[in-house]
Amino acid sequence: MCRIIVVGSQKGGVGKSTTVRNLSYSLSELGHRVLAVDFDPQFNLTTCFGISDITMIPNDIASLMTAMLNDEELPPSEQYIQHIGKVDLIPASIQLSVVDANLRIEMGSEHLLANLLEPLREQYDYIIIDTCPSLGSLTISALTAADEVIIPVNPQLLAVMGLQELTSTILKIKRRLNPKIKFGGILLTMCDKRTNLYKEISTQVDSAYRSGMRIYDSQIPMTVKVGEANYNGMAVAEYDKNNAAGIAYMNFAKEVERYA
Ligand SMILES: Nc1ncnc2c1ncn2[C@@H]1O[C@H](COP(=O)(O)OP(=O)(O)O)[C@@H](O)[C@H]1O
Ligand SMILES: [Mg+2]
């Protein structure tokens, strides 16, 4: 059965796009059929998949959402799904910011992304959605489509603050729009175990959420190879197969697989 996973946080720079890039790669290496969806108008995920010139691509998530908003028929999926290695991708473009504005004024539009993805469930084991750093209409649409949410926390950014706001948004979505949504868990990213900040934040996260929410055992170390891999349009494990972050993302993917 296909699982739709949203990687979300209203904070920027916590490792959302990097997590979607590497989780989708690792799950595909484990033999799963994976679709990654870029749902951020900054299209960092699209760039992390090595697509530098989005104008060459006829259909991105923004044009599909626009068709949904206009009650138009979608093109066949071969025309909008990109195959990048073993992972499939629906890219995004800056046009998604126009969609964001339209979603805000269009009645009942929260369900449009869910409706768009629903027929694709048959073709995939995992659909993983990257979101933008806000709790606005795009993120609400993503959460409405989700079976579960993974929340990356970057210890350097005091990212624990703000978790409360995010969890209460998710609970509101659960009550009003999407009763099936579950918390997947918290993933600590960009960890530098030597720093006091890391120790401080990981204990804070632990004590605050251990009872209510899973905190994944895998933690992603901070390494310069991540930025280099992103820049080269590759997953870390593809870029350098011995890199600690690539190995950590593979272990994380196994945890995600296990906690179905
Ligand atoms: N484990 C890591 N080690 C080092 N740099 C990282 C790591 N994860 C992400 N980064 C870098 O941090 C920045 C923010 O990551 P990104 O995934 O774009 O976050 P978000 O999508 O939440 O804004 C990027 O420049 C990325 O290359
Ligand atoms: Mg991002």
Q: Go through the domains of the chain in sequence order and give each one's CATH number.
A: 3-258 (3.40.50.300)
Pair 117, 4: CB distance under 8 Å = yes
Report the candidate in 39, 81, 42, 45 with the shortest Cα–Cα distance to residue 62.
39
Residues in the chain: 260
What pTM did the predictor assign? 0.96
Distance (angstroms) between ligand 2 centre and the Cα of 19 equals 9
In 49-95, alpha helices (H): 61-69
Q: Is 16 exposed, middle or buried (0-12, 13-18, 19+ CB in 10 A)?
A: buried
Among 186, 226, 232, which residue has the most ligand 1 atoms within 8 Å of its CB, making it the best to mutate? 226
Backbone angles phi, psi at 193, to 5 degrees: -65, -15
Which pLDDT tens digits describe the chain residue by residue (260 residues)?
999 999 999 999 999 999 999 999 999 999 999 999 999 999 999 999 999 888 888 899 999 999 999 999 999 999 999 999 999 999 999 999 999 999 999 999 999 999 999 999 999 999 999 999 999 999 999 999 999 999 999 887 765 667 888 999 999 999 999 999 999 999 999 999 888 877 887 777 777 666 577 889 999 999 999 999 999 999 999 999 999 999 999 999 999 999 87
For residue 38, what are its two tokens? 């870029």
- Cβ contact 16:152 at 8 Å: yes
Q: Which of 88, 75, 180 is nearest to 127 (CA)?
A: 88
Nearest-CA residue for ligand 1 atom 16 is: 15
CA of 205 to the centre of ligand 2 (A): 22
Which of 6, 9, 18, 236, when mutated, tests ligand 1's pocket best, judged by the most ligand atoms within 8 Å of its CB? Answer: 18
Q: Which ligand is nearest to the CA of 230?
A: 1
